[in-house]
Amino acid sequence: MTGKALEGLRIIEFCDEIGSYGGKLLADLGAEVIKVEPAGGRLQRKTPPFYRDPGNPDTSIAFWVHNTSKKSVTIDLDSEEGQRLARALALTADAVLEDYPPGYLSARGLGYEALSTLKPSLVYTSMTGFGQTGPHSRYAYIDMVGQAMGGIMTLAGDPDDPPHTIYGNQANISASLNGAIGTLLGVLHAEATGEGQSVDVSAQDAVSMSMETAMMTWDMQKRNRTRTGARGMIPVSIPAFGVYKATDGYCILYVTAPAGADFPALVDWMREKGMEGDLDEEPYRTISSELNMRFLTQVMADPSSVETIAPQLKHINDLVEAFCATLSARELYEEGQRRLLLVGICSTPKDLAENTQLRAREWYQALAMEFLDTTLEFPGPPYRLSESPAAISRPPRLGEHNGEVLAGLGAGEQGGIR
Amino acid sequence: MTKRPLEGVRVADFSWFGAGPIAGNILSFYGAEVVRVESMAKLDGLRAGQPAALNPDGSFKTGYNVSGYFNNFNAGKLSMQLNLNTEKGQEIGYRLIEKSDMFLTNFTPRVIEKWNLDYEKLATVNPRIIAAYAPMQGMWGPHKDFLGFGAVLTPVVGISEMSGHPHQPPIGVGTNYPDYVINPTHTVTAMLAALRYRNRTGKGQCIELAQVESVVSVLGTAVADYLMTGHQQTRTGNRHPNMAPHGAFRCADDETSIGSTDRWVALGVRELWPALCDVLRHPEAATDPRFVTFEARKANEDALEALVGEWTRAWRAEDLMEALQARGIPAGVVQNPQDILDKDPHVAQRGYYQYLDHPETGRAAYDGGAALLEKTPGAFAAPAPLLGEHTFEVCDRILGLTADEIADLMAEEILI
């Protein structure tokens, strides 16, 4: 007999692009998450891609994947009646999630101070670009600005190109994830003691951990790591190390890295396909047999130590390139891994949709979209809990739950706007 | 220190490298007692990784306790050395699990099997344990034994295909991105939800986080777009469906920015295009027919970006950010680590980084927790532990072993 991890928890969510994913995680885990939206919805409802009907706030795929398992009500927060309704609704909740610019909700009587006075056990989580306090807290924010100020853009891209973002609004996602954690910590504390509190998440802070070693490198060695493009952290070009073109896409090879089989296992495979070229002849045979972790360590410590064999390394790499170019990306990945070679496919969305592992694990979930007369597949939850599994259900249409949710709050005939 | 929210929760942290230890790090920040189990028999490679702290003469400090890479992911933990390749070591491991509320690992299914740490076994030792397994491809399925680490995961989950400039091959994002926020915070979310479930029902459980699923979950739009419409998205640089211009634009170089003198401001507008033109002192561009509407700017985006990039080139990046922000335009300097740690007044005031005195590295910065809880805030109680620093303490205080028993285990090389 399984249950829901967050059963009995009611959350009122005033979120758009920054905080939606956090609310989704809690909703998928079993909390009742009621999303309060203005007429027409906020930006995420208007964000492409759309399913069939561009501009229809009920069919944004970007909205859907960040808002599964929630309910939606529409309330005009600029009207007195709307503010009264939203306040009454928030006071029925264990937690509030919001991502408006700081000050927006308090100006409407929906800030943390006002609500916590009326309900001291309330957990009130704000997820914004720069948080609630500090000299930049009122800065205008979009996801890219979070990725810029949080330090991950400076590491991404080729030195000849502008620094670039990581796909998927990752500053927002990082804020959402930390918002979900902060909310759960607040709820655990409130359930134990009756004491609520505010939780303040800055997207800039939240994304910073993703700088990898860059922060510590500055702190300890006063060196700034910068974007190094395809070269990564390796100072010279090494065979079977980096991005390789296949017939229909790309794979990444890390054959000399400290996991899996070393380079000769790749030569075996090339030989089976008649593509080993002169790798069985000297000097290539000896060099090939030494392309392992020790070699890599030597290159990292002293790039000039391999300068004398640079032409040979290039020749070997050319043969690897030619070999990879005869295989499909999926074959290079799956057969390479079968041979214990460290190979990763550069998956496209199609590759992910067809990914052998994800399909075998039945990760994608088909949801009935009855208002569209169809069934559509969604990405599943990020984790599997044996006793209280996360489960996704259909994202709500705009204002879909106005009747059910608002009727009890004395909204009467006026309840909800569309 | 005020009471932290997870005080009283003990975590047996059998993880290594990035994605697992950072989950333990977050739990440590918020007050859990986290026992990091390590061994010279299978040393966490990050302990030997860069950046190492420097000696006064500028040379690298050596040894297993001076890596910023390791230390930043293990602050406030207790370090216990335990050789799980031995049966006796596994028995000690079970004792720790018996005394813990949570178990955490990101080792592969192969290693978990070898060390007899599967959930069925753990549940017999401690039915209330919340056991989180977070290997790259999950604990089961045809790819469960596939090799990899963050650098392989990044392309496999589609981040490389979807990120970067379209004229480049999928070269990735410069880091092993999924390791640092996405996988650890998902893991902690599930562990905290399971803790609430246990509070209500008394039941522990098994959490399985397949990193591939966890990361594809945050790239949902592109994958769902294909699943639902058959449309294949790919990387578009810094372009955005709702804004134009939207990108990073080069400003004046700054020689004080060490090793990173090229300076950029990221900005994006839709309705605020005229204000942007104003700030950049080219008000005439606001009415240029090529750029006057959002749709027109999208249609002429190459020309638009070239022009904006020309106009920003003379600006000091920080000045441009402030001038744009004064007009309500979202804009931010593409900050490097020096900016964030030493120059950004906002980060300093909010105190995200915690500075801790470590016996071998000296004072060092640590990433803190990004959720600031007003009444039960987090904070690391200590810097990262030295390798095996708490082996005796854990055996004595937590496992209740006698001094003789501990001495025997040392002699038998179980605690190495």
- Per the CB < 8 Å rule, is A167 touching B219? yes
Q: Best interface-test mutation with A: which of B324, B334, B342 has the largest number of A CBs within 10 A?
A: B334
B interface test, pick of A1, A130, A167, A387 with most B CB neighbours within 10 Å = A167
In this predicted structure, the answer to whether residue A328 has a pLDDT above a threshold of 90 is yes
Distance of residue B88 Cα from the nearest chain A Cα, in angstroms: 27
Q: How confident is the model at residue A321 (pLDDT cuts 50, 70, 90)?
A: very high
Question: Has residue A258 got a pLDDT over 90?
Answer: no
- Look at the pTM and tell me if it is higher than 0.90: yes
* Closest to B399 (Cα-Cα) out of B74, B7, B9, B94: B94
pLDDT at A241 over 60: yes
pLDDT for residue B69: 97
Cβ of B213 within 8 Å of Cβ of A383? The answer is: yes
User: Side by side, which strands form the sheet with B264-268?
Assistant: B246-250, B264-268, B331-333
Q: Yes or no: say if B335 and A205 are a contact pair by the CB < 8 Å rule.
A: no
Structure tokens at A410: 């004395």
Report residue A10 as tokens: 């009611």
Task: Give the pLDDT of residue B104.
Answer: 98
pLDDT score recorded for residue B166? 97
**Residue B69 half-sphere exposure toward CB, CA atoms < 13 A:** 19
CB-based contacts of A174, cutoff 8 Å, min separation 6:
A146, A150, A203, A206, A207, A209, A210, B181, B182, B185, B370
pLDDT bin (cut points 50, 70, 90) of residue A135 is very high
- What average pLDDT does the segment A320-332 reach? 98
| Backbone φ, ψ for residue A345 (5° rounding) | -80, 140
Of all residues in chain A, what percent carry a pLDDT higher than 90?
88
In the numeric block, the tokens 């060099």 are attached to: A287
HEC readout, chain A: CCCCCCCCCEEEEECCCCCHHHHHHHHHCCCEEEEEECCCCCHHHHCCCECCCCCCCCCEHHHHHCCCCCEEEECCCCCHHHHHHHHHHHCCCCEEEECCCCCCCHHHCCCHHHHHHHCCCCEEEEEECCCCCCCCCCCCCCHHHHHHHCCCHHHCCCCCCCCCCCCCCHHHHHHHHHHHHHHHHHHHHHHHHCCCEEEEEEHHHHHHHHHCCHHHHHHHHCCCCCCCHHHCCCCCCCCCEEEEECCCCEEEEECCCCCCCCHHHHHHHHHHCCCCCCCCCCCHHHHHHCCCHHHHHHHHHCHHHHHHHHHHHHHHHHHHHHHHCCCCHHHHHHHHHHCCCCEEECCCHHHHHHCHHHHHCCCCEEEEEHHHCEEEEECCCCCEECCCCCCCCCCCCCCCCHHHHHHHHCCHHHCCCC
CA B233 to mean position of chain CA atoms: 26
Look at residue A416 and tell me whether its pLDDT is greater than 50: yes
Over the stretch A148-172, which tens digit does the pLDDT of each residue have? Answer: 999 999 999 999 999 999 999 999 9
d(CA B139, CA B150) in angstroms, rounded, equals: 17
Cβ atoms of A346 and A329 closer than 8 Å: yes
* pLDDT for residue A75 is more than 50: yes
Q: Which domains does chain B have, with CATH numbers?
A: 10-218+352-411 (3.40.50.10540), 246-346 (3.30.1540.10)
Q: Which residues does A414 contact at the CB level (< 8 Å), separation at least 6?
A: A81
Mean pLDDT of B228-248: 97
Provide the H-helix boundaries in B327-414: 337-338, 345-350, 391-393, 403-411
What per-residue confidence (pLDDT) applies to A260?
87
pLDDT at A407 over 90: no
What integer pLDDT is reported at residue A1 of this predicted model? Answer: 52
Q: How would residue B107 be classed by pLDDT, with cut points 50, 70 and 90?
A: very high
AA identity, residue A19: G
Contacts of B258 in chain A (CB under 8 A): 222-224
Inter-chain CB proximity B155 and A162 less than 8 Å: no
State pLDDT tens for residues A209-234: 999 999 999 999 999 999 999 877 77
- Angular region, B174: left φ>0, alpha ψ -120 to 50, beta rest: left
The pLDDT assigned to A294 comes to 82
Q: How far is CA A369 from the centre of its chain?
A: 24
At A235, is the pLDDT very low, low, confident or very high (cuts 50, 70, 90)?
A: confident
Size of interface A-B (CB pairs under 8 A): 533
CA angle B400, B127, B196 (to 5 degrees): 105
Consecutive H or E run containing B321: helix B317-326
Per-residue pLDDT band for A412 (boundaries 50, 70, 90) equals low
pLDDT band at B1 (very low <50, low <70, confident <90, very high): low
Cα–Cα distance for residue pair B131/A257, rounded to 1 Å? 30
Q: What is the SS3 assignment for B67?
A: strand
Q: Is B145 a catalytic residue?
A: no
Dihedral over Cα of B99, B104, B107, B112: its sign: positive
How close A417 gets to chain B, by Cα (Å)?
25
> Could you report the per-residue pLDDT of B144-201, keeping only the tens digit for each?
999 988 889 999 999 999 999 999 999 999 999 999 999 999 999 999 999 999 999 9
Q: What are B157's two structure tokens?
A: 């989950």
Strands B371-373, A197-202: parallel, antiparallel or unpaired by DSSP? antiparallel
CA dihedral A402, A408, A411, A413 (to 10 degrees): 80
Please provide the DSSP assignment of B122-163 as one string.
HHHH-TT-EEEE--TT-SSSTTTT----HHHHHHHTTHHHHS
pLDDT, tens digit, for every residue of B2-27? 789 999 999 999 999 999 999 999 99
What would the pLDDT profile of B269-297 be if each residue is shown by its tens digit? Answer: 999 999 999 999 999 999 999 999 999 99
Q: Which residues pair with B247 in a beta bridge?
A: B267
Q: For A192-214, what is each residue's pLDDT tens digit?
A: 999 999 999 999 999 999 999 99
Tell me whether residues A382 and B238 touch, CB distance under 8 A: no
Nearest to A47 among B154, B158, B241 (CB): B241
Provide CB contacts within 8 A for A358, sequence distance 6+: A352, A364, B212, B213, B216
Q: A14 has which bridge partners?
A: A98
- B401 CB neighbour count, 10 Å cutoff: 18
What interhelical angle do A329-338 and A263-272 show, nearest 10?
120
Q: Do A173 and B165 touch (CB under 8 A)?
A: no
**What percentage of chain B carries pLDDT values higher than 90?**
98
Give the pLDDT confidence score for residue A413 in this predicted structure.
Answer: 45
**Cα–Cα distance between B8 and B134 in angstroms, integer?**
24
Per-residue buried b or exposed e for B20-53, using 16+ beta carbons within 10 Å of the residue's own CB: bbbbbbbbbbbbbbbbbbbbeeeebebbeebbbb
Q: What's the pLDDT score for residue A417? A: 59
- Which residue ranges form the domains of chain A, and what is each CATH number? 10-210+364-414 (3.40.50.10540), 234-354 (3.30.1540)
H-run or E-run covering B266: strand B264-268
Chain B residue with CA closest to A112: the answer is: B374
Average pLDDT, chain A: 95
Closest CA to B231 of A54, A296, A336: A54
Consecutive H or E run containing B224:
helix B220-229
Nearest Cβ partner for B371 among A173, A199, A252:
A199
